[in-house]
Every structure is written in structure tokens, then in C-alpha cells.
A and B are shown apart, each in its own frame.
Chain A
Amino acid sequence: MQSKMKESDPILEVENLSASTDNLPILKGVSLTVYPGEIHAIMGRNGCGKSTLSKIIAGHPSYNITNGDIKFLGENINSLEPEERSQSGIFLGFQYPIEIPGVSNLEFLRVSTNARRKFLNKEELDTFDFEELVKEKLEIVKMDHAFLSRSVNQGFSGGEKKRNEILQMALLEPKIAILDETDSGLDIDALRIVASGIKKISNAQTGIILITHYQRLLDEIKPNYVHVMSDGRIIKTGESDLALELEEKGYEWTDNFIKGT
């Protein structure tokens, strides 16, 4: 399986990445390579740096890269603005999607989709054409049309917010999607909808990074690789059964790896 995938060029290469916020080191040399068609899971305790890694890849301004590189499709993107990263095909699904009062969800989705389409030299969509497109994508996450006329994420339940994230992913058709705890706060039905949405959107050309605490999302979407993070480093990488082992033995088990290194 592995050798077949590596015939093509990687989508994302994180090379020995160190980063800090307010002079506090958070990442201490993370390396990770994602090839087309691969699904990677990153697991680890709260505060191990998983979410930080996802935000840095998306270009959050609060973090400084102190060492190492992030390459997307072979190009170094360390200094790109978040919007440029999104336009070129990097998607971050937020753990806590942000509420934006007064801005209609439909208009937000349209502007966002058009920014990506513009980058791809595709025709930008007017309100009517966009309505058609979004109707089709709403099916994927089983969302009601009424969500579109509300303000972005405002007053949405936890599950609705997460589905709105997957809707955005469906519209933006990213090359790589980093989904930060998309499963947290979801009941089992919502989890299935979200998981099936992710599967429908991804294909042999896209890469996915799932950041999660739990096995249950990985039961729905089977990863090719599982990475365990601790204290700003990836301390162990394995195949999907590593997640099962982790579920069984708990994170205390992984502490031994740190002692060992």
C-alpha cells in the first residue's frame, strides 16, 4: 500500500517544525509527510501540540515558526497568509468554529468558495449559480437550507457547527483537509453523518489529517497512519491498529516511549 502511494509527489511535508507563541515553545521538531489518498490520524493528550500544529499549517498569526519548514505541493508556505493557503487548497476544520454575527452563512460560503475558484481559474459563481451548488453539497452533510440564511455559526448547536465545517470542506474541495477534533461533541448519528461526509469529499488525490482523542471516528474512517504526539513531538507512528492499542492501554502507555528516547 505504502509503496504504491509514494509514486506520486507528497501534498504536505512538515519538516522538523518548531514553533512558539509568546516565546513559549509548543512544537519541538515535528515531521510529517502526507501523500495523495492518505489518511493520517494524530492523537495525543490535551496540550500536546496537535491543535497548534493544525493552526500553524493553516497560518494562524499567533504562532512563530522558529525552525523547520512547511511545504505544500513542493512549495515552502511558511510565509503565506492564511487566505493564500486556503485558496491554494489547505483546509482547516475548526475544533471550535467561530461565530460571526451579522454575516450571512450563505454569503460567507459564496465569498469563500469564489476565492478558491478564482485561484483555480474557475468562473466565480453568482448568487443563483451558487445556490445550485450549495444545495447539492447540503445533501452531503444532511443540513437544512435554513442554515444558509442564518449568521455564520451563530446559535448553531455543536453538531451543526461541525456539519457547517464539513459543508465548507465540500465547497472548497481542498487538496488537504486538517480536521481538528471534528468528532468532539457529536452524538453517534451526527458522527456518522460527518464521517460519511468526509469520505464522500475525499478521493485518491486528497490528503486528510484527522486530529482526535477517540477511536470512534477512526472506526468510521480508517486511517493509513496513526501518529501519537506528546510535548510538541511525534513520539510514535504506526498503522491503524496503533489507535486501537492506544485506546486499550491509554496515553500512560505512550509515556514509556518518551522515557525510551
Chain B
Amino acid sequence: MVNENLVKDVVKEPYKYGFVTDIETEKIEKGLNEDIIKLISQKKEEPKFLLDFRLKAFKKWQKMKEPDWAALGYKKIDYQDIIYYSAPKQKEKISSLDEVDPKLLETFDKLGIPLTEQKKLTNVAVDAVFDSVSIATTFREELAEHGVIFCSISEAVKNHADLIEKYLGTVVPASDNYFAALNSAVFSDGSFVYIPKGVTCPMDLSSYFRINSGDSGQFERTLIIAEESSSVSYLEGCTAPMFDTNTLHAAVVELIALDDASIKYSTVQNWYAGDEQGIGGIFNFVTKRGKCLGKRSKISWSQVETGSAITWKYPSCLLLGEESVGEFYSVALTNNLQQADTGTKMIHIGPKTKSTIVSKGISAGNSKNSYRGLVKMGTKATGSRNYSQCDSMLIGNQASANTFPYIKSQQPNSEIEHEASTCRISEDQLFYLQSRGIEFEEAVSMMVSGFCRDVFNQLPMEFAAEADKLLALKLEGSVG
């Protein structure tokens, strides 16, 4: 019921990260077949086990069907019309950051992720991924002193093949789902993290994913292993230029936590969302899953999803170890014609396992925002507990919000709690804030960040502030 005219008067802030870097790239031809996969593997000089992994995944993918159960509507994706490998042309071997193309450094500078020695962020190590390849990883030596491995997954394949062979695909098998199979066949780059026994990672680790090219997909793959009694906080950010075509992004993230290890994985996803008419934007189909393998291991997902035309994403936890803990804190904001179907799966397998789900969905414009979550208590999950809270906020009267909680319990001696609520920003609330001198836009963003506070409290400090700003930016002109 908010005044429609006010909305139109509001100046709209364009997508800040919509620029394209003009750089010579090496692209392979469009399409997907065994030869393409062999070519990707060959370009990356991969060992045979990995090529086999890819080809097996491809065979599975060919037999699978694209899922249609999500509350999403989009034009059918033509998988033969996508370029599966695109990399900026660089010198063969880069030994230091000074040899990275200045244009690339400039790009990441503009995105607020300076990489060079003089300017790099002091408290966070960054792995910067541009289209299909990792450009640079900062603080590698410092981390190596602690035994922490932080590098691109391509490098890990070369230098730590044993770890890759041992863990790759053990959390998200290639056959898991259509998009995971596709990723397993064609994944290009992503980050690899290994925290040795007893080590608390001395700084936050972060990957920044940038899609630059309009006709190639991005298929990154991330693998994080936390050995016994180790811990790490990992952050991930994503942006892409504005194109009027849709770009496919199908990532797989696998986390493994052993006894008493903890992994905190935070995402701020701000892929290009398409324009007000819903033209362009990223199709974001992502499989993220963590395995709490050990006793008292802990995996915590927090995400702020604001971008992409389509978001299909369910970061999940497999709670195998006794007393292991899974957490999912999510803010998903959709505006204009964006669609999001996101949530989590908490699979309680071990006894005395515990999970917490806090999901905040905000829908504005004509967008559609669904929470979809599964909580499952297995037969051995005695004394396990889950608490879920799913809140939706509607802005304007054209947006929609759904909640689809699935609960399966095979263990009577376990507890599952689910709470859900829906609210709307009312004209009276806005008028109240405005009549106290607070500008309309600020009033909206105050209420939205109030609504999201439980989740923002879970984000690393700088991320929380950034998320707050991002939400305010995304909502500009949305209240109608």
C-alpha cells in the first residue's frame, strides 16, 4: 500500500560492478562433448585420475534431467551454446604478481579487492578468480608458515594431487544432481584450502569470483579441508558485468571438517541480476555441502544472496560425527523480476548432532523468493536437535514469498522445531520513521537491516557492514 509515485521518483543506482574488462582472452569453441572435456583437462595439464573423474561425470550428466521442482521459471538453457573455458591471455608461467596483466589487477582494484603487495587487504588472504582461471592468491608464504595451503584448485591438482584425489567428490558426488554433474565434468577453477591438524588459520581466507565474458559459463569448484582441531573462516564474493544475455554459473563447494574442526563459510553473492524488465543476469545453480566427519566438528554457512536472475542454492550439512554442529544463516533479497529458491539441508546422521537454521527472505518488486529446506533425523541420530526459523518480508504488493520446509524424522528421540513468519513493511511504519526526519530510503533500509540482524550478526565484521550497504543499494527504488 505504499505510495507508488514515490517509488518512481527515487533515483536508481545502477549496478556498480557492471563493467567489462577489455582483455584478450583465450576461449575454446562453444559446446559440450568429450573432446571439449579432454581439451579443458589438457589445458590444465591434469593427471589422468581427474580426466577420468570428468568423463565419468559427463556420462552421468548426459543421462540426467534438468531438475524442475524448484519454484523457478526460466527459458531453457542451451548447453551447446555455452563456452566452457575462457581465460585471459597471460604469460605461460607467472612467478609473481608483478607479472599479472595490469588490466586484471585494475579490474580487481575497481571491485574493491586490491591484490598488489602495496595495496592488498591486510587481514584477509584473497584468491582472485577471473572467468575460468585463478589470477592470484595473496599471503601464500605467510600462510604456508602455518602449514595452511591456500591456492587455486588447478594448482592444488598439480601440487597436492593426493589430497584432491582423496577428497574431491566425496561430499558432492558427480551423480548428486544435474548441475553438480555438469560442474564435475567441466569445472575450471576455484579455491583449495587445507588447514593442518591443530592450526587456527591466522587470517580470514577469501575468494573473489568475477565473471567477465558474456558467453562463457563459470564452473568453479572449491574444496576446503579442516583437519582435526583446526579452524578457518572463509569468505566468498561474486560479481559480473551487465549483459543482456544470461550467463550460467554452476559451482560446487565441498567442505570437510574432521574431529573438533570448524569451518565458517560466508558468501556475499552479488552477480548481475538482470535489469528491471528481467533481461540478462546470471543463472546461479550452486551445490554447496559440508561434511562434519568427526566428533564435535562444526560447519557454519552464512550467505547474503542479493544478485543473480535465478538463484538455486541449498548449502547443506551432513552431520556424521557425534555431537557435530551444522548452521545455516541466510539473507536472500530479490527485487524486480529476480527469482530465488534457496535454503538448506541438515542431515543428522550421528547421535547428539545439532543444527540451526535462520533464513530471512526479502522480496521486492515483482520478484519471487522461496525458502526450501530439509531437516532429516536418521535412525542413529538419538538426542539430536534442530531449530529452524524462516521469516519473510514483503515490500510492495507484487512480490511473493514461499516457505517449503521438509521434515523427515526416523528417530523418535530427537527434536525438530520450526518457526515461520511473514511481514510487510507498512506505510504507517515508513511514515513514522519519516516523520522523525529519516529519509524514505533510509527508513526502508533500517527496517530491512533490522529484519536481517540475526543473520548479519553471524557475518565477519567487514562483511556485515558491506552486506548492510549492499542491501540498501539493492533496494533503492524498490519500495512500491
Contacts and interface: CB of A to CB of B under 8 A. Distances in A.
Interface of A: 58-62, 81-83, 85-87, 92, 94, 97-104, 107-108, 111-112, 115-116, 119, 151, 168, 172
Nearest to B454: A102
B453 interface: yes
Contacts of B437: 83, 86-87, 112, 115-116, 119, 172
B438 A83 contact: yes
A100 B434 contact: no
Contact of B432 (A59, A61, A97): A97
A61 B436 contact: no
Contacts of A85: 435
A60 B431 contact: yes
Contacts of B3: 61
Contacts of A94: 432
Contacts of A92: 435
A103 B435 contact: no
Interface stretch (B210-218, B299-307, B442-450): B442-450
A111 B6 contact: no
Given A61-B6, A111-B442, A86 B450 contact: no
The 10 A-B pairs with the shortest beta carbon distances in the complex, nearest first, are A102-B450, A115-B437, A86-B437, A112-B436, A98-B432, A82-B434, A103-B450, A87-B437, A83-B434, A61-B3
B167 interface: no
Nearest to B442: A111
Contacts of A61: 3, 6, 427, 431
Contact of A103 (B426, B439, B447): B447
Interface in B434-469: 434-440, 442, 446-447, 449-453
Given A61-B6, A61-B427, A172 B447 contact: no
Given A83-B436, A98-B426, 10 more contacts: A61-B6, A82-B435, A83-B438, A86-B434, A98-B428, A99-B429, A101-B423, A108-B436, A112-B438, A168-B436
B335 to A, nearest CB: 20
A171 B451 CA distance: 26
A100 B438 contact: no
B23 to A, nearest CB: 43
Given A61-B6, A61-B427, A102 B447 contact: yes
Nearest to A62: B427
B433 interface: yes
A121 to B, nearest CB: 15
Nearest to A117: B437
11 contacts: A60-B431, A61-B427, A83-B436, A83-B438, A86-B437, A99-B429, A101-B450, A101-B451, A108-B446, A112-B438, A119-B437
Contacts of B426: 98
Contacts of B433: 100, 108, 112
B203 to A, nearest CB: 28
Contacts of B432: 94, 97-98, 100
A100 B450 contact: yes
Nearest to B432: A98
Nearest to B9: A81
Contacts of A98: 426, 428-429, 431-432
A87 B440 CA distance: 13
A114 to B, nearest CB: 8
Nearest to A97: B432
A151 B450 contact: yes
Contacts of B451: 101-102
Contacts of B428: 98
A125 B423 CA distance: 32
A81 B436 contact: no
A189 to B, nearest CB: 26
B329 to A, nearest CB: 15
Given A61-B3, A111-B446, A100 B429 contact: yes
Nearest to B451: A102
Interface string B309-342: 0000000000000000000000000000000000
A107 B445 CA distance: 13
A100 B445 CA distance: 12
Contacts of B438: 83, 108, 111-112, 115
Contacts of A81: 434, 440
A216 B195 CA distance: 72
B362 to A, nearest CB: 12
B447 A86 contact: no
Contacts of A111: 438, 442, 446
Nearest to B421: A101
B447 A83 contact: no
Contacts of B452: 102
Contacts of A172: 436-437
B35 to A, nearest CB: 55
Contacts of B440: 81, 83
A58 B438 CA distance: 13
A83 B433 CA distance: 8
Nearest to A94: B432
Nearest to B437: A115
Nearest to A82: B434
A100 B435 CA distance: 14
